[in-house]
Structure 1
């Protein structure tokens, strides 16, 4: 009879790799705008800058330049009502990235 491999608790994993508790910044991209420079120079408050995405399109999550996931924007509820959040719909294999 063989024993099943032991899995580390999050605390044990953190002790083995001190970098696991370092925060990382994720950038959420909702779209890009491509105005002409002459249009950009005339932008004023309340100007509308159209993006290349629709409201229902997926947003993309990046760490640096690397795409790590896609998701949908949603509004949080309860104590955090009004705060934006992202519900992940696709997560990259961090070894190979998203296709």
Structure 2
């Protein structure tokens, strides 16, 4: 990876990172009937954490956390890397 840094300025390359919480299947009718305070049940438990992805590739696993600052923001703590992206 260090050899690549000499060829490409990786400090300026930006990629979109997606955090996947889980999945569920709904019909169009069910989705159109959603109202405030409805709950969608996902296919994984809270303790399963989240997947950190670039495109469709999972690059790490994480857990949801707050930022601990003055703003109440949702954050992800990396708990395991999936190798080199």
| TM-score, L = length of structure 1 | 0.67
User: Over aligned residues, Cα RMSD in angstroms?
Assistant: 2.4
Q: Greater relative contact order: 1 or 2 (C-alpha under 8 angstroms, separation 6 or more)? A: 2
Flag the structure with larger Rg.
1
Name the one with the larger strand percent: 2
Give the gaps of 5 or more residues in structure 2: none
Partner of 2:80: 90
Give the gaps of 5 or more residues in structure 1: 1-6
Partner of 1:62: 53
Give structure 1 regions of 4+ aligned residues with deviation exceeding 3 angstroms.
Answer: none
| TM-score, L = length of structure 2 | 0.76
